[in-house]
């Protein structure tokens, strides 16, 4: 493919992932520690049974914040496309590779580098659960990018705080065909 415009800072953040992804894909022994979506007073929220609120489903940014018109120019522009209204209807435009490719075409983007959920996984405050969350995300990302592999280029999220787990995941995602890695700037995500 001849590339004219590549977006090098795209995201497939937690607010746009399938609500049941982590619970449905986690091994039985760890399912109870995975995030899931439940209805809250401000709409659907990513939560854990340990009481961690990880932000709104279909919300703004990596933490699923509430859309406040006039607060951020770029977010206002995304809202003008109907992105957050679609989120209220539980339509995950950024989380659907086919809908996402249509958005790329509207913007004249030939390919995108997709960053993931590395930072939000640390909010679990449970390294084992966070590592499993990242593994599940990486598997999802592989499937997501498989539809348009020359246009949607996902970066696998590496576990942090455990060198053996990180090294093992590097080899695993390479075999999956993911083309790059996202890793923490510090060992403990601080």
d(CA 10, CA 160): 22
Structure tokens at 140: 């999802």
**Residue ranges of domains in the chain, CATH in brackets:** 6-182 (3.20.20.140)
What does the pLDDT look like over 4-30, one tens digit per residue? Answer: 999 999 999 999 999 999 999 999 999
Collapsed DSSP state (helix, strand, coil) of residue 145: helix
d(CA 122, CA 35): 12
Task: Check if the beta carbon of residue 6 is closer than 8 Å to that of residue 111.
Answer: yes
Contacts 24+ apart (CB under 8 A), 47-55: 48/124, 50/124, 50/126, 52/123, 52/124, 52/125, 54/14, 54/120, 54/123, 55/14, 55/15, 55/120
In this prediction, residue 61 carries a pLDDT of 77
Q: Is the pLDDT of residue 135 over 90?
A: yes
What does the pLDDT look like over 94-112, one tens digit per residue? Answer: 899 999 999 999 999 999 9
d(CA 93, CA 116): 15
13-22, 34-43, 66-75, 85-94: the lowest-pLDDT one: 85-94
């Amino acid at each position: 493919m001849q590339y004219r415009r590549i977006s090098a800072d795209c995201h497939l953040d937690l607010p746009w992932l399938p609500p049941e992804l982590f619970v449905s894909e986690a091994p039985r022994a760890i399912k109870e520690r995975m995030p899931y979506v439940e209805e809250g007073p401000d709409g659907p929220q990513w939560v854990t049974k340990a009481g961690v609120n990880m932000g709104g489903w279909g919300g703004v940014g990596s933490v699923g914040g509430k859309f406040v018109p006039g607060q951020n120019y770029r977010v206002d522009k995304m809202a003008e496309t109907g992105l957050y209204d679609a989120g209220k209807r539980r339509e995950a435009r950024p989380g659907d590779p086919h809908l996402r490719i249509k958005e790329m075409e509207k913007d004249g983007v030939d390919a995108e580098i997709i960053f993931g959920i590395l930072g939000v996984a640390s909010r679990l405050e449970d390294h084992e659960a966070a590592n499993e969350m990242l593994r599940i995300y990486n598997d999802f990302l592989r499937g997501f990018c498989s539809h348009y592999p020359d246009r949607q280029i996902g970066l696998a999220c590496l576990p942090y705080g455990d060198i053996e787990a990180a090294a093992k995941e590097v080899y695993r995602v390479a075999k999956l065909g993911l083309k790059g890695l996202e890793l923490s700037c510090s060992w403990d995500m601080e």
